[in-house]
């Protein structure tokens, strides 16, 4: 009997199995947050708010959903991930370190001269990064091109892209949304880190996005709205997205700076910030770092 059959026959075991998976992903998200804080601290600049808000999404994508592994970064059947909100690179590097795509200590060299871990992902520096991003609005367009190319090749791999909410003020995003629906790209899933804040202020103050779900539906996408910090909800949404004939978007409601009280819901912590040693310590304390973990992250 297969594992799937055993779990189906024993609901209690299935529940225990799901709980273990969710707990493991929670630990992965915790690591992503701590590593992101540390790398930005050592860099002297970076974008912590969106890295912390997206940590649970990264953990679920790399730890449970996507068919990709460190040993198969060139496998043509691998799923593809495009970080359209490229400034969240610290979280991408952190989740990569957690799941073995790169070395955790090396990934703390964020923005250092000659380091492959720059402030935005660069495809020529890291073999497991699918494309360079940073100019907002372009990543989703690249993901659409990948999905079209895979379909032409009759390749069943899926494509995932993560967008920021401020990024949705770019017109190119909506051109891309229209194209994806027109081409019926059911293999494409977009995840929006909807933390409601951008560099200078709230989304509503700069250019409101609501009714956001209605807009994506009007463009022909399957739409789900979830709590972006609820591991079970993220996993369920990703599973559903894999069943739709049209492209799917998951609007994940998140908290900017999640897990660090002095950062939460404060636009200042979007980016271009420099942590003091005390702020870095306080952030790691808030995330439950042990003394050994703080030493590993900060004493490099």
Taking only the tens place, the pLDDT of each residue in 142-190 is 999 999 999 999 999 999 999 999 999 999 999 999 999 999 999 999 9
pLDDT at 272: 76
* CATH number for position 109: 3.40.50.970
> Whole-model pTM?
0.95
Residue-wise pLDDT for 103-145, tens only, equals: 999 999 999 999 999 999 999 999 999 999 999 999 999 999 9
Closest by Cα among 192, 195, 191 to 242: 191
pLDDT at 3: 42
Query: d(Cα 257, Cα 276) in Å, to the nearest integer?
Result: 16
pLDDT tens, per residue, the chain with 300 residues: 444 455 566 667 678 889 999 999 999 999 999 999 999 999 999 999 999 999 999 999 999 999 999 999 999 999 999 999 999 999 999 999 999 999 999 999 999 999 999 999 999 999 999 999 999 999 999 999 999 999 999 999 999 999 999 999 999 999 999 999 999 999 999 999 999 999 889 999 999 999 999 999 999 999 999 999 999 999 999 999 999 999 999 999 999 999 999 999 999 999 878 999 999 999 999 999 999 999 999 998
C-alpha torsion sign, points 33, 38, 41, 47? negative
CA 164 to chain centre: 10
Query: d(Cα 231, Cα 237) in Å, to the nearest integer?
Result: 10
Q: Compute the C-alpha angle 51/53/59, nearest 5°.
A: 75
Contact between residue 37 and residue 284 where contact means Cβ atoms under 8 Å apart = yes
Q: How many CB atoms neighbour CB 75 within 10 A?
A: 12
Phi, psi of 193 (to 5 degrees): -85, 90
Domain assignment of residue 172, given as a range: 3-298
pLDDT at 10: 65
| Total structural domains within the chain | 1
C-alpha torsion sign, points 256, 257, 259, 262? negative
Longest dimension (CA), the chain: 56
Query: d(Cα 115, Cα 125) in Å, to the nearest integer?
Result: 8
pLDDT at 300: 83
Contact between residue 218 and residue 178 where contact means Cβ atoms under 8 Å apart = no
Q: Do β-strands 159-164 and 222-227 pair in parallel, antiparallel, or remain unpaired?
A: unpaired
Contact between residue 46 and residue 76 where contact means Cβ atoms under 8 Å apart = no
pLDDT at 122: 96
Query: d(Cα 202, Cα 238) in Å, to the nearest integer?
Result: 27
Q: How many helices (H) and strands (E) does the chain have?
A: 12, 5
């Amino acid at each position: 009997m297969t594992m799937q059959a055993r779990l189906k026959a024993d609901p209690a075991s299935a529940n225990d199995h799901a709980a273990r998976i969710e707990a493991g992903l929670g630990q992965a998200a915790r690591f992503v947050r701590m590593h992101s804080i540390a790398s930005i601290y050592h860099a002297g600049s970076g974008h912590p708010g969106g890295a912390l808000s997206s940590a649970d999404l990264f953990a679920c994508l790399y730890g449970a959903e996507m068919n990709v592994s460190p040993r198969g970064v060139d496998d043509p059947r691998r799923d593809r991930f495009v970080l359209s909100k490229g400034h969240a690179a610290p979280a991408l590097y952190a989740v990569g370190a957690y799941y073995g795509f790169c070395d955790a200590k090396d990934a703390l060299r964020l923005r250092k001269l000659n380091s492959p871990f720059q402030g935005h992902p660069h495809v020529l520096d890291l073999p497991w990064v699918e494309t360079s991003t940073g100019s907002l609005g372009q990543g989703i367009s690249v993901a659409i091109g990948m999905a079209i190319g895979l379909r032409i090749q009759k390749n069943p791999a899926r494509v995932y892209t993560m967008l920021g909410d401020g990024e949705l003020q770019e017109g190119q995003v909506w051109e891309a949304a229209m194209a994806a629906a027109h081409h019926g790209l059911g293999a494409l899933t977009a995840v929006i880190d909807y933390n409601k804040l951008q560099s200078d202020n709230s989304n509503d103050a700069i250019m409101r996005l609501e009714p956001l779900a209605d807009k994506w539906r009007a463009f022909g996408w399957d739409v789900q709205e979830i709590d972006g910090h609820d591991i079970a909800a993220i996993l369920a949404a990703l599973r559903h997205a894999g069943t739709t004939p049209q492209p799917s978007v998951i609007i994940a409601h998140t908290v900017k700076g999640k897990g660090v009280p002095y950062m939460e819901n404060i636009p200042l912590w979007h980016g271009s910030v420099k942590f003091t040693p005390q702020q870095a310590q306080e952030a790691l304390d808030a995330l439950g770092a042990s003394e050994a973990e703080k030493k590993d992250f900060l004493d490099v």
